[in-house]
């Protein structure tokens, strides 16, 4: 008596292999979606930081361009952001300009922080 082993000539994947492959694909896609969400969130925060830096630079540039002895204490609103500055005479040849800029927190946007930037303006003829 001979043992006959049935060998299938059909090629393909079994149901178990397909289910394992689909499960792995699902895990990979969920991981990619989570990474994309985190990346979009970081891009939004980076955009806020860039706008903040631009606002501070705009005010600082305008005060520097006014020149020594031409800057007076004041305030402004730049894109809805409160900015104020004060001028203090350091000596007869230089002034210190203190700029205070309000910015919202990134983790908790209900918190407003006041950042301070100091500029020093001097007589261009200082030797």
Tell me whether strands 112-122 and 94-104 are parallel, antiparallel or unpaired. antiparallel
Beta bridge partners of 77: 82
> Domains of the chain: which residue ranges?
15-122
Instruction: Please tell me the distance from the alpha carbon of residue 56 to that of residue 43, in angstroms, as a whole number.
Output: 20
Instruction: State pLDDT tens for residues 68-121.
Output: 889 999 999 888 888 999 999 999 889 999 999 988 887 787 888 888 999 999
Instruction: Please tell me the distance from the alpha carbon of residue 92 to that of residue 126, in angstroms, as a whole number.
Output: 10
Closest CA to 103 of 27, 25, 49: 49
Q: What angle do CA 86, 91, 92 make, to 5 degrees?
A: 105
**The whole model's pTM is what?**
0.65
Q: How far apart are the first and last CA of the chain?
A: 114
Instruction: State pLDDT tens for residues 79-90.
Output: 888 899 999 999
């Amino acid at each position: 008596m001979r043992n006959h082993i049935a060998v299938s000539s059909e090629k393909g994947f079994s149901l178990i292999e397909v289910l394992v492959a689909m499960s792995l694909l699902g895990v990979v896609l969920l991981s990619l979606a989570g990474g994309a969400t985190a990346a979009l969130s970081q891009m939004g925060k980076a955009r806020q930081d860039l706008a903040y830096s631009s606002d501070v630079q705009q005010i600082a540039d305008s005060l520097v361009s006014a020149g020594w002895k031409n800057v007076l204490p004041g305030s402004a609103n730049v894109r809805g952001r409160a900015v104020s500055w004060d001028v203090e005479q350091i000596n007869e040849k230089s002034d210190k300009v203190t700029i205070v800029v309000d910015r919202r927190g990134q983790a908790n946007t209900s918190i407003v922080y006041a950042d301070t930037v100091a500029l020093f303006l001097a007589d261009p003829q200082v030797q």
